Structure 1
Amino acid sequence: MKSILFDYGGTLDSDGSTWLERFHPIYKEYGIDAPNERFDRAFYDSDDNLPARFALDGLDLEQTLRLQVREVLRGLAPDRLELTDRIAGRFAADSRAHFRRLDPVLRRLAQRFRLGVVSNFYGNLDGILRAEGLKELFSVVADSGVLGVNKPDPEIFLHAARALDSRPEECVMVGDSVPRDMKGAAGIGMKRALVCSRAEPPAGGQDWTVRSVVDLETIFL
């Protein structure tokens, strides 16, 4: 094995929790207690349309999150837009705490393997990773917003593998989504590690299941 590819959201910024799962409790803490279905609609309306509504190139993590949160609040509680900075700041702080936890592990992995990121993101992930001090660890950042193709399409995985001078079978894809990460990577012959902290992880054909990226050390080092 030559290379390890990582999903971003739910993998590098948390132990298997999606942005939706992480954000909803924060909104509740600030008094925005919408039913799950209504919150989901507002969240995905913001998430899916953010690149079309705003120029995101050059924005850092917190700036991007503020736009995402503001759009959710417009849909759920337009009279509570003053909560934007607090909700976005809390989410960013949690993400950065996780970055600090993973940083030494990623650096040790980078001494032995070529590392990359494959993410369905907004088009500004490279800059976000650079601002957070993580970009130097990754030789490629395959951002769907830049490439115009989303996981599980094989091309986004193949783009990353080519950039790392690796064949698909020489790569491991690490992610928290069975349909996007595990099945997408399996389709081109990559090994797969699912990040999942649930007591009963889903069966997605993964080769390994880990509770955190931290646990990859015991497998690969």
Structure 2
Amino acid sequence: MSLDTLDVSRIEAVLFDVGGVFFIPNHLVLRPLLADLSVAAPDDESFHRAHYVGIRHWEHELEDDAFWTGYNSRYVESLGIDDVDRTRVGEAIHGVWLSGMRLWTWVQDDAVAALARISQLTRVGIVSNADGTVERDLGRFGVCQVGAGAATNVEVIVDSTVVGVSKPNPKIFDFALEAMNLRAEQCVYVGDAYRYDVIGASRAGLQAVHFDPYELHSDATHARARSLAELADLLERRP
């Protein structure tokens, strides 16, 4: 389903997820890991696509621990790693997660550029399941900040660890709505995880857009976008 199904006349603000939209796992961190295991690494695009293959597994697992196990398995499989090497590569990647290494540091420049465009067309904010550092990282990597600064100005950044509520609990969106003095039906939320982002936002009363750059959900009936530029184009066309 395309973005044309959105009711653009009601849109007063767009809220964004962070992981999978602006940041994805950094292949420059993972390449040396594969080299240490004497496993051939694929091209950069394969690393990028692997995240979305992994996140699609989220639709089928209900427990977070099971999700991360499934995510890593699908991620490694998508990289084209031979069957004989998948277990040890998966364990090594899981070790990176557990080590606290900042893995989610590859910035999707096209999404950052589109955010700047969208901010000129409507109000914008961030709602993210994160570890308490998302506001710092968004500023550090030049994505956005609250108030004036070098990057795009957003009105609010909601970090689940800071507020104590995580998606898909719809209450996490209340923090952004209150800060922006908006009603849920006036907002669109963009995220890459169907279970957390599309369902969570829809339950909160927001219009939801599934960020699906590799069209892995082509059979879905909800609104999807291959890029944030598509959403910017739609907002520019509205009366």
TM-score range, shorter chain: 0.5 to 0.7
Would you say 1:215 and 2:224 are equivalent positions?
Answer: no
Q: What is the count of residue pairs matched by the alignment? A: 174
1:173 to 180, 189, 204: 189
Would you say 1:105 and 2:110 are equivalent positions?
Answer: no
Q: Which moved more, 1:26-35 or 1:131-140?
A: 26-35
- Percent identity, aligned pairs only, is 26
Which residue of structure 1 aligns with residue 138 of structure 2? 129
TM-score norm. by structure 2 comes to 0.62
Equivalent-residue separation in structure 1 for 2:217 and 2:132 (angstroms) = 30
For residue 39 of structure 1, report the CA deviation from its aligned partner.
5.4
TM-score norm. by structure 1 comes to 0.66
Equivalent-residue separation in structure 1 for 2:21 and 2:154 (angstroms) = 15
Would you say 1:194 and 2:210 are equivalent positions?
Answer: yes
**Aligned CA-pair RMSD:** 2.9
Q: 1:103 to 1:153 in 2, by over 3 A?
A: same
Render the CA deviation track for 1:81-138: whole Å, top value 9, x for unaligned. Answer: xxxxxxx5xx63x42xx23x33332222112211111111110111111222321422
Alignment of 1:60-71 (within 5 A): 67-68=100-101
2:127 to 118, 121, 131: 118
Structure 1 stretches lacking a partner, 5+ long: 51-66, 70-87
Q: Which moved more, 1:157-166 or 1:170-179?
A: 157-166
| C-alpha contact 1:12 1:213 (8 A) present in aligned 2 | no
Render the CA deviation track for 1:6-41: whole Å, top value 9, x for unaligned. Answer: 010101225xxxx49x68963664344585566556
Q: 1:201 to 1:213 in 2, by over 3 A?
A: same
| C-alpha contact 2:171 2:204 (8 A) present in aligned 1 | no
Would you say 1:30 and 2:63 are equivalent positions?
Answer: no
Structure 2 stretches lacking a partner, 5+ long: 1-10, 40-75, 77-84, 146-151
Which residue of structure 1 aligns with residue 47 of structure 2? none
Q: 1:4 to 1:126 in 2, by over 3 A?
A: same
Alignment of 1:136-147 (within 5 A): 136-147=152-163
One-letter code of the match for 2:21? T
SS in 2 for 1:130: helix
